[in-house]
Amino acid sequence: MQKKRCDLSWGMRGGRIPEKVLSYHDTRWGKPEHRDGELFAMLVLEGMQAGVSWNLILEKEENFRAAFDGFDPETVAGYGEEKIEELMQNKGIIRNRKKIEAAVANAKAFLKVQEEFGSFDKFIWSFTGGKVIDHHLKDVKDMPAKDELSEKISAELRRRGFKFVGPTIVYSYLQGIGVINDHWEFCDFR
């Protein structure tokens, strides 16, 4: 019996859904993530996604992980102009200077949050008391692009020096790390 999924038509290529989109939906999206390394990785990837498709980010994810030293925040925080220029020449990633510089700024801010809270995980999940928000969606039209929570977290992240963390990016980030579960009610991967 074929498993039921959310509408993944956004990720279709040539009339089919690529394996990376299926894998992301089935194993990562909406699943609670608590590892700081992955929380940072997703923050960078979501920032890189601004203005492009998530499908493109998934296609380039391995390249991003290699180019950004496995998304180790301490390493990324230490990137200088030479490394930024190297990244600007890397055809395997999104070569947008503002986004790359934002990744460096975000690594520095991320480390400060870790220092203050003990982990980024404690910080980001504190906004919901450690609970997953499940919207029990029945249709794609029910899914917001942002909400009160993403606006609150966005403001707090910006206050702490994070970049490319507007409410829409933050909402997508919260979905990606499982703080928000927006899988459709009938989806077998809830």
The one catalytic residue in 38, 54, 101, 156 is 54
Element (H, E) at 104: helix 97-117
Catalytic-residue membership of 24: yes
The one catalytic residue in 29, 33, 46, 125 is 46
User: For residue 155, which amino acid is it?
Assistant: A
Catalytic-residue membership of 46: yes
The CA-CA-CA angle for residues 58, 62, 67, to 5°, reads 120
Convert 133-171 to b/e letters by CB count within 10 Å (16 or more is b).
Answer: eebebeeeeeeeebeebbeebbebbeeeebbbbbbbbbb
Catalytic-residue membership of 171: no
Q: Which residues are catalytic?
A: 24, 46, 54
